[in-house]
Amino acid sequence: MQFRSFHNSDPPRLHQLWHACQLGRNAAEGFSCDIFELFACSQPYFDREGLILAFDGERAVGYVHASFAVNDTQTDLDRRQGILSALMVHPDYRRRGIGRELVARAEQYLLKAGAVSVEAGGGLNRNGFYCGIYGGLEPSGFCSSAAAWKEFFSACGYGPGSETYILRRDLLQSRDPVIAKLLRHRRNLNLVITDRPGNESWWWFVRYGQLDSLRFELRTREKEDLVASGQIIGMDIFIPKWGVRSVGIREIYVPESQRRHGFAQALVLEICKRLREESVQLVEAHVAADNKAAVDLFTTARFELHGRLLTFRKSLQRADA
Ligand SMILES: CC(C)(COP(=O)(O)OP(=O)(O)OC[C@H]1O[C@@H](n2cnc3c(N)ncnc32)[C@H](O)[C@@H]1OP(=O)(O)O)[C@@H](O)C(=O)NCCC(=O)NCCS
């Protein structure tokens, strides 16, 4: 078995591996190699040394993609926090130690670049690659049902990291809940929809800039005060896999002074209504498993738990430390 870092001629190999590795229901499939290249190799921070392939002779049989989390201001990467953005081994080559070797090589790359820790799977809002083709709305972790992640990463010395719930609503199957205060809101509020991104960060543009997005705001009719905002992201690359049009809802936000009035719920249901009118069938949100307020918000709006995305963490120590 041989290992080497990325060459410019590799995307067709990686694209083929992606489709052969049985990545589970949260990985898009049936898209072109150009799309793969756009979402896996075209980011301004792509580093060929961080993407490492395993070969059996001429045949690529696995790869790992190491990168970094974003800094607190979302203006650059934080090279102290390593991430494993992707990892896969061809089914014919599993249980031969290739995954373990790929992870060890990715850790060496991260250590050399200055990382002190690594989070396999990235985490909510932290993975800078594969937005649009893995995870659904975003690659917030590795899909729990796709592999024996817990066993594999504990064999590699990792402990548990974060858990993100994929919450979904089928707009054709479920009716909107009737909530009295929401009827009142409808009389007093205006929905404003814009296709201009709001005041988005560099991190937003490098991950979502290539996808369709809209911003929604609820404002009071009289003074036009903002009471809730959110955005939707098109998930069209998943159509060949799922067979339906899907959209993700993210960044639902209510200003502190406007909380506990049901404005977030009013906004989510209003977005669902508009999407149903546009023949979108599935709506998805990613929520940290321990964020009770957000989980409650979406479950009241008839979203159901559809899957879990997991991460695993390890501290990295220099051999000379
Ligand atoms: C997870 C994955 C990468 C493991 O690759 P691998 O080459 O088979 O892993 P290794 O052979 O290095 O396994 C190392 C250890 O992990 C554990 N392990 C790996 N697979 C396991 C399984 N299916 N069940 C239980 N333990 C497992 C074992 O302890 C193993 O050591 P052992 O074989 O000596 O017992 C592989 O299963 C895979 O590609 N799955 C799909 C990937 C995916 O969905 N990626 C998301 C897209 S980015």
Q: Tell the residue nearest (CA) to atom 24 of ligand 1.
A: 148
Residues 238 and 142 placed together within one structural domain of the fold: no
What pLDDT does residue 176 have?
Answer: 85
What pLDDT does residue 320 have?
Answer: 65
**Residue-level pLDDT, tens digit, the chain, 321 residues:** 999 999 999 999 999 999 999 999 999 999 999 999 999 999 999 999 999 999 999 999 999 999 999 999 999 999 999 999 999 999 999 999 999 999 999 999 999 999 999 999 999 999 999 999 999 999 999 999 999 999 999 999 999 999 999 999 999 988 888 777 777 787 889 999 998 776 899 999 999 999 999 999 999 998 999 999 999 999 999 999 999 999 999 999 999 998 988 899 999 999 999 999 999 999 999 999 999 999 999 999 999 999 999 999 999 986 666
Within a domain: 321? no
Within a domain: 269? yes
What pLDDT does residue 30 have?
Answer: 97
Diameter of the chain measured on Cα atoms = 70
Residues 133 and 100 placed together within one structural domain of the fold: yes
pLDDT one-digit tens code per residue, 32-44: 999 999 999 999 9
Residues 22 and 48 placed together within one structural domain of the fold: yes
Residues 264 and 216 placed together within one structural domain of the fold: yes
The best mutation among 19, 94, 133 to test binding of ligand 1, ranked by most ligand atoms within 8 Å of the C-beta, falls on 94
Residues 20 and 149 placed together within one structural domain of the fold: yes
The CATH number that applies at residue 159 is 3.40.630.30
Within a domain: 46? yes
Residues 150 and 15 placed together within one structural domain of the fold: yes
Residues 19 and 151 placed together within one structural domain of the fold: yes
Residues 158 and 179 placed together within one structural domain of the fold: no
Domain tally, the chain: 2
Q: Tell the residue nearest (CA) to atom 32 of ligand 1.
A: 95
Residues 138 and 244 placed together within one structural domain of the fold: no
Within a domain: 62? yes
Within a domain: 267? yes
Residue 258's nearest CA partner among 202, 219, 302 is: 219
What pLDDT does residue 319 have?
Answer: 65
What pLDDT does residue 212 have?
Answer: 95
Residues spanned by the domain of 74: 2-164+309-315
Within a domain: 320? no
Residues 130 and 219 placed together within one structural domain of the fold: no
Within a domain: 23? yes
Residues 203 and 260 placed together within one structural domain of the fold: yes
Q: Any long-range contacts for 88-96 (C-beta under 8 Å, 24+ apart)? A: 88/17, 88/18, 88/21, 88/23, 88/62, 88/63, 89/21, 89/54, 89/61, 89/62, 90/17, 90/20, 90/21, 90/61, 90/62, 91/20, 91/21, 91/22, 92/61, 93/54, 93/56, 93/61, 93/62, 96/1
pLDDT one-digit tens code per residue, 87-108: 999 999 999 999 999 999 999 9
What distance in angstroms lies between residue 6's CA and the mean position of ligand 1's atoms? 22
Within a domain: 176? yes
Residues with CB under 6 A from ligand 1: 21, 23-24, 27, 86-89, 94-100, 134, 142, 146-148, 151-152, 155
The best mutation among 25, 145, 152, 153 to test binding of ligand 1, ranked by most ligand atoms within 8 Å of the C-beta, falls on 152
Residues 52 and 131 placed together within one structural domain of the fold: yes
